[in-house]
Structure 1
Amino acid sequence: MNATAEKYLMLLSKFGPLAEKGSEIVVSTDELALAWYCSTRNAKLITHKLVEEGLISWHSGRGRGHVSKLTFLADKDSLLLVWAQEMARKGDYKQAFELLQRNSYGTALTDRFAHWLNDHFGYQAEATSGVESADTLRFPVYVPIITMDPSQVYCAFDAHMIRQVFDRLVEYDPRTCEIVPSLAHSWESNASATIWTFHLRKGIRFPNGRELQSEDVRFTLERMRGDKAHSWLVRSLKEVQCISARTVRILLNEPNYIFLRFASSAGMSIVPHDLIAADETAYWRQPAGTGPFRISNWTADCCDLVANPDYFQGRAHLDRIVIAFMPAETAQLGEDAPWQQMIRDEELIGLNKVETWNTHEALSHGTSLITWNMGKEGAHQKYGVRKAMELLINRQKMIRELGEDRIYPSRGFRPTKQTPFLEEEMDIEEARRLLRESGYAGEEIVICSKGSLLADADWIQKRCSEFGINIRIRRETTLSVRAPDLLSEIDGILFCVVFAVEEVCEIENYEQAGNFLREHLHPEVREWAMEQVSSTLASDSAQRRRTLLNGIEERLREQSHVLFLTHRKQNAYVHETVKGVGLNQLGWMDFKNIWLENEAASFNVPEDETTMISRS
């Protein structure tokens, strides 16, 4: 239908107001050829096809003085909607929205399409060629997967997806703060934490059938060197030795008593050496690991995952997961559509929970903040200006007015047991004094942000304007915020940090190339912070490590290099038939553990209660 529908839409566009359903126009075959940019012969073939499809009727005028008449039989909006639905069923979600936005006026038709997605998204048992049906979960997100390469990951969503496809030597359990086995069933280190030996499990295989080997570990760590985003994880790597097929020894130049936590981070997910060596470009188009899911299709429109039937930690309950990548602006369309409650996404603003669903809630292990670009000239270079903004922003008021998942004022990277009881440090008069003494005269301060955090940025802009501080908000996207020239053009950036692995993610702020906080630090402060990190890694005392890391945070706060804003909560609204739901440290649900209590329920979820997932 698509080809003929496109030709029909071209006619509608060509003849404008005359091209309504039921209207008749006088038109020659030559004029049709011009409208379709084709030959007269092809125009006749297209016309015949449109007649066969029931889109037009055609009365050919024969002989001199006889005119041809074309009658439009199809309603434009109905045709567009059907076409968009066909695209969605094929997984071409972004193309479907682009089709509607390109050919319709306003958002009414796009809104209708969004509501149609109510029945398309959710938890369904779908027929397969086998005996059993396939439990399939479809849901939308409003940001793309930027990379599935563990060595290059920055975003929490990418890190979560990497954890679905790849495994690590060990895993960090945030509930107990302990390291548990994964690809390695056992490990040991020397007393100085410079030699780590891991023993791999037997029988773990990549999709090509090859068994995991120590060479995969060596290859993974070696390829992280250089200009990779996570090269800092191998900052002191000296050598990787393959002692046997399933024993690997890692030698470090410096002590690292939390190397096991390094090894549990998404950045150190183990990749297959042979598949990447054969054709790295092709491999990253459809990456494959040892994880609970495998990618069967990954395009600009969607990512299709299927369960790994031989996963060494137990097969996933779900058979298939389809993640639809939606245009960011469509998050605001169809505000009453239940599927907007299905997934946690930083781009989605506004959430109306279906009352009959169960609610899962947790405090996010991170914060929103502004980092100041100390490598760029501007009013923000003055301590008095930065400190004044910190003192005049009323975080409690911001939380009350913006609502949603904002819950506590933030005074540091990580919420603590005292966070709910801490009083906000706000002093309007002191802020005014600092502004006067700094000599600030209304110079423009440029702050960039993206997604739902733009609401915070707009609120701060309005608040600061009440005190004569001239803030301009630069609105970015998940992709544009990583543009190479951005740092040289902005004075600050408002973003969120999420700590998935204790201590490691905190150190990442100071060591990861391209990290917003690290890149904004003054070189002297950055060098000092890295010295503190080295001391942290060399300490076998958890208390000492915490003292050192807290010391870095305190200096950043005291010198107002960082403006901490709010801690947020993570929410998951889940239909009562869905089980195994739990929010991980990245704010997402581990797909492997989700299951449907009653298989029949997947066919009978009420139309206004599409099943699941989460938002934070």
Structure 2
Amino acid sequence: MELSDAHFMRLATALQSPEFPDEPIRVTIEQLSSLLCCTPRNVKFILRRLEEKALISWKPGRGRGHASSLSFLRSSEEILEETFQELLAKGKMKEAIELIGAPEVSNLLRERLWAELNRQMGFHSEPERPSGQDVLRMMRNRHLERLDPAFVFTAFEAYIIGQVCNTLVSYEAASDSFLPGLAHTWEHSDNYTRWTFYLRKGVRFHHGKTLTAGDVKYTLERLFQVDSHSLWQYGDVVEVKTEGDYTICFYLSRSNLFFLHLAGSLYMSILPSDVSFSGIPVGTGPFRVANLNEDVLTLTAFDDYYGIRPLLDRVEIWFLPDKAGSDRHYELSGANTDEMMPWNQYNSSIDYPALGCRYIVFNLRREGVHHRKEIRQALRIVYDRVALIRELGGSRYTPADSLLPWISKERQVVEGQLKEAADLLRYAGYAGESIRLAYSPKKEESEEAEWLQKRCRAVGLNLVLHLLHPGRSAEDILQNADLLIGEEVLEDDWEWGMMNFYKNRRNYLHFLFNRPQTELLDRETENIFQLSTPDRVSCLLQAEQLARDNFWMLHGCHLNKRAKLSQSLLGLHTGSFGFLDISKLWVKSGDGGS
């Protein structure tokens, strides 16, 4: 906000009457000096500037100490909205967001400004002014988690790492096969105990270094050095040897038919060996991290990318906690939105039925009545998937009885009767003890928690809600909650994703289950790397059945992830986790060009 506008706002806030905004106000120079915290001489200079901008009319009083007449020619809301539009046009998103939260902004105006910000952040595009660059804006309703391949946990962070880094191979869901990545080919010994990868030549990292086999070796060794979440999958690796700059061999203690999945895992996103990791990944991917702070992540196209250079030049991801919806919004930014962008409203949307589902998992490491199987079974009935879809709708599109939608489809999920839940509670000797449910402030999780509490009340179950604020640790869940609403989104390589869900020691299942439960899960997936694909899948489904039949985990609904977009945005390719692959997006200009 310009200084003269700030002066106007201070005076208008203090002096302008909401009931009679156009009426002249009698005021002295001394009063204005106090309001503006400056000398009388500077007050006169400020008033002159405000008159030149046609913001006020000023009639000085005759003689020292006599009252003068001040009229406001514009409303403070007009100035605020005008300033907000100017900030958006200049791409100053942080300043625009701060303006929305300013105390001078009324609730009605605040809603209007948020609506405009959401519109600007929608999935639509426009060419940027002099540079000719295409700049995509995305909005997220939470802050970014740790952007380290060794500790990647959430789907969005994994998605970003996939745009910044590459792996040796990549999984293609359409063909259910692996494609060359940083390795152009590979081979294995007859007994699958040695895997050899041959690297592409001339691949560069974002800081200029050329990729060699030493970087691959360093990446795996780093996982052990930092005690990565991924170590469960690399325990059979006994030695890694480089044979020149472009050949790397992995020697295993036993056969591993699953090793390509591990080589293509996001944990094995190759990092350079010559720089220490500083919180910002340096990779070989189509985009490089140009800026990262609590407000925005900026990615820029990597001109030396070994594949096809992205058609977008810059991607800005703005973090707006508690203000964005669950849909994904995108905008290609530039000047003069309304004149240049007749499509500056959402023309359509794309739906992405995600692999995985929302679920409830019990904290079996905390004492309580939820250790009684009948009580967990009663909650299974109360947490009814069919009723959830009918009564809440939203992104919930089909009942889940598995992380895999096609497995759920094979099973008939019927709506239960609340009376059955009440009978189970009586049979279990339930006496009104409280059961605490932890949930995040995400809109749909909050809806589900409140919905479940209401249904529990109907059967006499005392469900207490425990809101997890951002930044709260897993220890908070462990100590203060008996059950948790969670959500698992599997990557395209769903087989690896399910295995990671059941075998990763640092996910919710292993964190909240006692040793007897984790040992049973481990038994179901023991020696899974040595099995053929059908046998591996069978083991995973048996592990899932174990958790389901004992009501340790209650599947909720499969979710549909929706992205809003305009007809000008082309090159729509779904990437892992249901996000669009931003490296393939491009914008169609108003005259039909690109």
TM value normalised by structure 1: 0.83
Report how far residue 262 of structure 1 moved: 2.0
2:139 is aligned with 1:140: yes
2:390 is aligned with 1:400: yes
Kept after mapping to 1: 8 A contact 2:401/2:556: yes
Question: Given the alignment, which residue of 430, 435, 453 partners 2:445?
Answer: 453
Q: Distance in 1 between matches of 2:258 and 2:565?
A: 36
Report how far residue 519 of structure 1 moved: 0.9
Q: Distance in 2 between matches of 1:506 and 1:473?
A: 29
| Partner AA of 1:298 in structure 2 | L
| Partner AA of 1:79 in structure 2 | I
Q: Distance in 2 between matches of 1:513 and 1:24?
A: 70
Aligned to 1:290: 284
Q: Distance in 2 between matches of 1:116 and 1:601?
A: 27
Aligned to 1:323: 317
Say if 1:386 and 1:6 are closer, same or farther in 2 by CA, change over 3 A: farther
Q: Distance in 2 between matches of 1:23 and 1:145?
A: 49
Report how far residue 552 of structure 1 moved: 1.5
Say if 1:330 and 1:413 are closer, same or farther in 2 by CA, change over 3 A: closer
Report how far residue 363 of structure 1 moved: 3.1
Q: Distance in 1 between matches of 2:571 and 2:291?
A: 26
| Partner AA of 2:373 in structure 1 | Y
Question: Given the alignment, which residue of 119, 124, 129 partners 1:127?
Answer: 129
Say if 1:564 and 1:18 are closer, same or farther in 2 by CA, change over 3 A: closer
2:424 is aligned with 1:434: yes
Kept after mapping to 1: 8 A contact 2:434/2:464: yes
Aligned to 2:406: 416
Q: Distance in 1 between matches of 2:240 and 2:34?
A: 67
Q: Distance in 2 between matches of 1:248 and 1:20?
A: 78
Say if 1:550 and 1:65 are closer, same or farther in 2 by CA, change over 3 A: closer
Which consecutive residues of structure 1, in runs of 5 or more, have no partner in the other structure?
Answer: 333-339, 345-353, 604-616
3-state SS of 1:220 partner = helix
Kept after mapping to 1: 8 A contact 2:419/2:459: no
Q: Distance in 2 between matches of 1:543 and 1:270?
A: 30
Comparing 90-99 and 74-83, the one that deviates more: 90-99
Q: How does 1:383-394 map to 2 (within 5 A)?
A: 383-394=373-384
| Partner AA of 2:585 in structure 1 | I
Aligned to 1:247: 247
Say if 1:397 and 1:485 are closer, same or farther in 2 by CA, change over 3 A: closer
Q: Distance in 2 between matches of 1:466 and 1:106?
A: 37
Aligned to 1:464: 456
2:547 is aligned with 1:556: yes
Question: Given the alignment, which residue of 468, 474, 482 partners 1:476?
Answer: 468
Say if 1:190 and 1:32 are closer, same or farther in 2 by CA, change over 3 A: farther
| Partner AA of 1:308 in structure 2 | F
Aligned to 1:348: none
Say if 1:64 and 1:476 are closer, same or farther in 2 by CA, change over 3 A: same
Say if 1:173 and 1:55 are closer, same or farther in 2 by CA, change over 3 A: same
Report how far residue 143 of structure 1 moved: 2.5
2:488 is aligned with 1:488: no
Comparing 119-128 and 195-204, the one that deviates more: 119-128
| Partner AA of 1:105 in structure 2 | S
Q: Distance in 1 between matches of 2:38 and 2:251?
A: 68
Say if 1:598 and 1:428 are closer, same or farther in 2 by CA, change over 3 A: same
Comparing 289-298 and 249-258, the one that deviates more: 249-258
Kept after mapping to 1: 8 A contact 2:127/2:589: no
Q: Distance in 2 between matches of 1:545 and 1:557?
A: 18
Aligned to 1:80: 80
Say if 1:146 and 1:34 are closer, same or farther in 2 by CA, change over 3 A: farther
Q: How does 1:512-531 map to 2 (within 5 A)?
A: 512-531=504-523
Which consecutive residues of structure 2, in runs of 5 or more, have no partner in the other structure?
Answer: 332-343
Say if 1:39 and 1:364 are closer, same or farther in 2 by CA, change over 3 A: same
Report how far residue 228 of structure 1 moved: 3.4
3-state SS of 1:10 partner = helix
Per-residue Cα deviation, 1:444-476 (whole angstroms, up to 9, x for no partner): 222122312222222222222211112223333
Q: Distance in 2 between matches of 1:250 and 1:38?
A: 72
Report how far residue 369 of structure 1 moved: 0.3
Comparing 356-365 and 400-409, the one that deviates more: 356-365
2:189 is aligned with 1:196: no
Say if 1:397 and 1:18 are closer, same or farther in 2 by CA, change over 3 A: closer
2:518 is aligned with 1:547: no
Per-residue Cα deviation, 1:365-384 (whole angstroms, up to 9, x for no partner): 11110011111122222211
3-state SS of 2:591 partner = helix
Report how far residue 37 of structure 1 moved: 5.2
Q: Distance in 2 between matches of 1:126 and 1:430?
A: 61
Report how far residue 94 of structure 1 moved: 4.8
Aligned to 2:106: 105
Kept after mapping to 2: 8 A contact 1:141/1:326: yes
Per-residue Cα deviation, 1:224-275 (whole angstroms, up to 9, x for no partner): 2244344444444444333322222234455543222122222221122323
Aligned to 1:218: 217
Say if 1:40 and 1:141 are closer, same or farther in 2 by CA, change over 3 A: same
| Partner AA of 2:127 in structure 1 | A
3-state SS of 1:416 partner = helix
| Partner AA of 1:587 in structure 2 | G
> How large is the Cα RMSD of the aligned pairs?
3.3
Report how far residue 424 of structure 1 moved: 2.8
Per-residue Cα deviation, 1:11-65 (whole angstroms, up to 9, x for no partner): 3444464797545445555544544556777666655655555444555668543
Per-residue Cα deviation, 1:401-459 (whole angstroms, up to 9, x for no partner): 22232122111221225616623373545433321122212222221223122222222
Aligned to 1:313: 307
Q: How does 1:52-71 map to 2 (within 5 A)?
A: 53-57=53-57, 64-67=64-67, 70-71=70-71
Comparing 96-105 and 52-61, the one that deviates more: 52-61
Kept after mapping to 2: 8 A contact 1:20/1:75: no
Report how far residue 329 of structure 1 moved: 3.0
Per-residue Cα deviation, 1:109-138 (whole angstroms, up to 9, x for no partner): 432452366357521122344xxx333333
| Partner AA of 2:107 in structure 1 | G
Say if 1:14 and 1:361 are closer, same or farther in 2 by CA, change over 3 A: closer
TM value normalised by structure 2: 0.86
Q: Distance in 2 between matches of 1:27 and 1:239?
A: 83
Say if 1:325 and 1:4 are closer, same or farther in 2 by CA, change over 3 A: farther
3-state SS of 1:431 partner = helix
Aligned to 2:161: 162
Per-residue Cα deviation, 1:536-582 (whole angstroms, up to 9, x for no partner): 12x23112212222221111111111011111234445544433323
Aligned to 2:334: none
Comparing 263-272 and 83-92, the one that deviates more: 83-92
Report how far residue 327 of structure 1 moved: 3.6
Kept after mapping to 1: 8 A contact 2:135/2:313: yes
Aligned to 1:595: 586
Say if 1:258 and 1:113 are closer, same or farther in 2 by CA, change over 3 A: same
Say if 1:44 and 1:231 are closer, same or farther in 2 by CA, change over 3 A: farther
Kept after mapping to 2: 8 A contact 1:410/1:565: yes
Kept after mapping to 2: 8 A contact 1:203/1:212: yes
